[in-house]
Structure formats: structure tokens, C-alpha cells
Amino acid sequence: MRRALATLLTVLLATSTAFAQVYRWVDENGVIHLSSQKPPAGVKAERIDIKTSSSSKRPAGSSGNRGSSGSNQPAPRPASPEQIAGREQLLSQLKTRECVIALEALERKTGGAEPTSATEIKRLKQTAELNCSQDPVRRRQQEEMAAKLQVANSPSCVDARNKLGDMMAPGSSVPRDQLRAQQAFVDEHCTSPIR
């Protein structure tokens, strides 16, 4: 999960120049929180430094660490509107990711596909409630993404990806049209909507 989050952040931030933060933490119930605001005092959180577009660059020789009181470093500049918009866009994408994962897991676990507990169901519902959109149109999109994720994680898609791997193995004599058809099936039905 951390690898996927790191990959998502890398892709989203490849061309950026200024820094902002998003905070991610798991509460005592296991519910995942994402916010552009610092978590409550005493809560251990992962700070994700993100780059956002900005016309101003950081001073040369400046490190990623902000100065603490009593240091010779200048006080941090207030975030620009571009930085705030970029941070909020990334935060929305991260929340959608957590929402989709929670919705897919809820469907799988409440559908009897996996053993679960009432505590796990409660945690997943709270994570979905906290991170899923309240806008009906956006929420429907998130639910559709969760359904696609469930299919992509299904045994039939695991088999389809394994079959494609075998077909592409060195020495395989599978005709190109069969290979293309298998690749098209995997691309259309078995690709995760979130990375």
C-alpha cells in the first residue's frame, strides 16, 4: 500500500517546484484519515511533503526541512493559491483512493468472500464515510471504481493475468492474435482503477 501511495505521489508531482503537506494517520479504531491540516495533538501522523506548481522557487540551498524557532532560516512563506489548490487536489485523489479501497473491501467482506469481524466491518465503514465524497455524482463514480477494483482483484482476473504472463514467456509459440486478445481482455476487465 505504501509503494502504491509513493508511486501515486511521484506521478502526480513529477513537474512541480514548491512544497506543501498532507497528513495521513490511523486512529485508535484503525480508520484512515487524510487532511491538509495537522492532526490533533499527540496523534502520530505520516507527513507527506508534496510538490505543487508555483511561480516562486525555494531559495537556493534550502532544504526540505522547515526552520524551527531560533534558527537562522527564514520563516516559511504562506502557501500560494496554486499551492493550496494543488494540495487540495492531491488530498481529494488520496481520499478517493482510500474510499475505493474501503468500499471494495466492504463488498468483499460483507459478501462472504472472506472471513471478517464486526470490528473490521465498522472500521471499513468509518474509513469509507470519512473519505468518500458526499456529492452523489462523485460518490457514484467512487462506487463504480470500487466495483472495477473488485473485478480486477477477482480470481478470474488473477488467472487471466497469469495466462497472459505464460503466453508472453520466452519460447512461447502462442499466435499473436491470441496474445492480443488476451492482452485486450486484461486491459479492459482486469486493470485496477487506482494505483
The tens digit of pLDDT for each residue in 128-165 reads 999 999 999 999 999 999 999 999 988 999 999 999 99
pLDDT of residue 19: 54
Alpha helix (H) residue ranges in the chain: 2-12, 81-110, 118-131, 136-152, 155-168, 176-189
| Residue 148 burial (CB count, 10 A) | 18
Q: What is the Cα Rg of the chain in Å?
A: 21
- How do the pLDDT tens digits run along the chain, 195 residues long? 445 545 544 544 443 444 567 888 888 888 888 888 888 888 888 887 766 544 333 333 333 444 444 456 666 677 788 888 888 888 888 899 999 999 999 998 888 777 889 999 999 999 999 999 999 999 999 999 999 999 998 899 999 999 999 999 999 899 999 999 999 999 998 988 887
* Residue 171, amino acid: G
Domain boundaries, the chain: 7-54+82-153, 154-195
Contact (CB, 8 A) for 150 and 107: yes
